[in-house]
Structure 1
Amino acid sequence: MAQEQRYGEFVVVRKEGHVAEFVLDRPKAMNAVSLDMARSVAAACTALGEDPDVRVTVLTSSNDRAFCVGADLKERNSFSDADMLRQRPVSRGCYAGVMELPMPAIAAVHGFALGGGFELALACDLIVGDATTVVGLPEVSVGVIPGGGGTQLLPRRVGAARAAELVFTARRVEADEALALGLVDQLAEDARTGALELAGRIAANSPVGLRAAKRAMRLGHGLDLRAGLEVEDAAWKTIAFSADRAEGVAAFNEKRRPEWPGE
């Protein structure tokens, strides 16, 4: 039976088994990220990061037209310069929370994921879309830049030149092109269903192994090969003598499903 926890007014986390569904729940505003919503996202990420039972997190939306349309520009329209500076740490904490989740994270992008909404998806390890998916970073069209990690995460995903074209033109990209460009990793009949199915397959694996593998890939990205291999070796040493490794080897030899201690 699923367990449900609300964080502030705009985020709900539902846990079933070892998968946590992280629901962006501001449907009337198409999940536009206000200050209150940013705080809710950060708080939920902190709680998930401290939960050893969660092996995979799936970001979804309660709105049937959008994953998230980005920053709440109506709210920001009333901000003074001082307000803009004060909100910046709150905004950064929201996106950093998703990026720093220690377990694999999957974004289920149904409908629009624009600006900061697409940056929330980019902060995840994998992105699942469907035929309704539309993504983009349109910030330069309103006089700002992608400030939730987009200028750094997008080039790492699709390469510098492709990212430059997408950011500089501010254009929207629909599902088939998004898949071809690598802006999403797979298209399902329904993004949420596909993402939860993928999460279930991932969650069958060792939680210790999953977290160590994610840490090695994240920390090693951008390093030269020699330095990256040292990061990998350090991660290997954290799990080589774990109870999960012992159980995994025993289960393989005994031809049974492993029962992961998670230690």
Structure 2
Amino acid sequence: MPLVHERIDVTIEDHIAQIKFARPEKMNALDAKMFEAIAMVGELLEADSSIRAVVVSGSGGNFCSGLDKSNFEGLLQQKGVSVDGGEKPTRLAERTHGIANLVQHVVWMWRELPVPVIAAIDGVALGGGLQICLGADIRVAAPDSRFSILEMKWGIIPDMSSSQIMRHLIRDDVIRELTYTARLFSAEEAKQWGFITHISDDPLKHALTLAENIVDKNPDAIRAAKRVIEQSYHQTPAQGLLAESVEQDKIMGTANQIEAVMAALQKRKPQFSN
């Protein structure tokens, strides 16, 4: 999967795609080129059926510090913000990527990817950076990492899909307090409230270990499980129960499902097909 872009490094090995934001001098802040790069990566990941897990991290000791402050020059001049690199500001209400605009897409796309996504968080995950890591299925953070729903500091609201993700993870009053105050919070608080899954001294190593565990499972069942979980948030009980059965009917008796059983019985590493 070739990708040449100055903002993101991509490596693929043993069915795991490692995505690393590569703007360390700006704490991996989000500018037009970064938005473009993340969207491009999403398209390439979705098209590569050999990938079974994705690990997202930042370079230079930080995950992502949020929107590049240079983007606010347009706001101060009452011109709006361009997120696509063009001279004219983009109307955010315009749907350009399915149900989303571009800035929402770079978060929501991790939920729409067919395989599990794990975020490994060092340093800061602020504003848009926090929203991006919330798009992951699993989030592992360093003990000294810091977080913030930062947008209110700049007089705006969080608008990169977090309203549709946080409500399934975090208590309503906690969301409201952190949104209204824009205050920093710690990894311990983030774990307590549901923003992150694990705290680890080496988040990237921890994330890769989780990814390796996922890769050893039936990839068809992993993809089906992600579909069922994602759909469940928007279904009635009857719809959810039916979705489970439909997916299971598709899996049972297939080559990869049989291989999972045989590998478990024979106590060996499974050999799945893509």
Same fold (TM over 0.5): yes
One-letter identity of the residue aligned with 1:83: P
C-alpha distance in 2 between matches for 1:38 and 1:241: 42
- Closer, same or farther in 2 for the Cα pair 1:116/1:7, shift >3 Å? farther
Aligned residue for 1:139, secondary structure, equals helix
CA contact (8 A) 1:7 1:40 kept: no
Check the 8 A contact 1:108/1:128 in 2, yes or no: yes
Tell me what 1:165 maps to. 177
1:75 is the counterpart of 2:63: no
Pairing 1:28–2:25 present: yes
> Are 1:242 and 2:254 matched, yes or no?
yes
Note closer, same or farther for the CA distance 1:177–1:96 as it changes in structure 2 (3 Å cut).
closer
Structure 1 stretch displaced more, 85-94 or 120-129: 85-94
1:13 pairs with 2:40: no
| Pairwise CA RMSD | 1.9
Alpha-carbon shift at residue 243 of structure 1 (Å): 1.8
User: For 1:85, what is the secondary structure of its paired residue?
Assistant: coil
Between the aligned partners of 2:239 and 2:92, the Cα distance in structure 1 is 37
1:108 to partner: Cα distance: 0.4
Aligned-residue offset at 1:196? 1.1
What's the counterpart of residue 54 of structure 1? 51
CA distance change for structure 1 residues 230 and 161 in 2, over 3 Å: closer, same or farther? farther
1-structure distance, mates of 2:241, 2:127: 34
Residue 148 (structure 1) aligned to one of 142, 145, 160: 160
Of 130, 133, 140 in structure 2, the residue corresponding to residue 121 of structure 1 is: 133
C-alpha distance 228-7 of structure 1, shift in aligned 2 (>3 A): farther
- Cα distance change of structure 1 residues 192 and 256 upon mapping to structure 2, 3 Å threshold: closer
1:57-206 alignment to 2 at 5 Å? 57-64=54-61, 66-78=62-74, 80-81=79-80, 83-85=89-91, 89-206=101-218
Number of the residue aligned with 2:223: 211
Q: How does 1:34-45 map to 2 (within 5 A)?
A: 34-45=31-42
Give 3-state SS (helix, strand or coil) of 1:213's partner. helix
The residue matched to 2:3 in structure 1 has which SS? Answer: strand
Unaligned runs of 5+ in 1: none
Deviation at 1:194, TM superposition (A): 1.2
With 244-253 and 37-46 compared, the bigger mean Cα shift is at 244-253
Distance 1:125 1:7, change over 3 A: farther
Q: Is contact 2:56–2:120 with CA below 8 Å preserved after alignment?
A: yes
The letter for the 2-side match of 1:261 is S
Name the amino acid aligned to 2:187: A
Task: Say if 2:271 is the partner of 1:259.
Answer: yes
Equivalent pairs, count: 258
Deviations 1:87-131 (A, max 9, x none): 973323322322221100000010100111011100000000011
**Contact kept in structure 2, 1:42 and 1:98, CA below 8 Å:** no
Instruction: Say whether the 8 Å CA contact 2:16–2:54 is kept in structure 1.
Output: yes
AA matched with 1:33: L
Tell me the TM-score normalized by structure 2: 0.87
Which has the larger helix fraction? 1
Range with greater deviation from structure 2 (139-148 or 90-99) = 90-99
- Residues 142, 200 of structure 2: 8 Å contact kept: yes
Q: Equivalents in 2 of 1:224, 1:237: separation in Å?
A: 20
CA contact (8 A) 2:216 2:269 kept: no
Note if contact 2:121-2:139 (Cα within 8 Å) is conserved in structure 1.
Answer: yes
Letter in 1 for 2:269: R
